[in-house]
Amino acid sequence: MKETDRRVRTAVNQAVHYRNYRRVRDRALRRLAHRYPNDYRTLLEEERARDEAEGKAWLDISGTTRNDTNLHLSTHRQDSSYRSGQANTDEQNEGNVGGEE
């Protein structure tokens, strides 16, 4: 079997597993939301506000999280080099710079 075929099959298996997990998880969340509607709404609003405050909320399908039209490519390069330097100096969170905690 070719390496490419193996990788494709692995990716397909992971996609199927993740889709099934999300489907079951979403159904469980719906059931909890029906059982505890006030708690669900409160938690949902807290998490939405937290994502917006941390700049993690998407603004469009491309994954844009900032609504600043004056950003240039040079700014993005500076950000990535800063993150690389930050990853090298912060051993505790080295693999999680800029990601979810």
Percent of all residues in the chain with a pLDDT value above 90, rounded to a whole number: 53
Is residue 1 domain-resident? yes
Cβ-contact 86, 78 below 8 angstroms: no
Query: Average pLDDT for residues 19-43, to the nearest whole number?
Result: 96
Is residue 29 domain-resident? yes
State how many domains the chain has. 1
pLDDT given at position 78: 47
Q: Can you give the pTM of this predicted structure?
A: 0.49
66-74: long-range contacts, CB 8 A cutoff, minimum separation 24 = none
Is residue 78 domain-resident? no
Is residue 28 domain-resident? yes
Query: Average pLDDT for residues 22-44, to the nearest whole number?
Result: 96
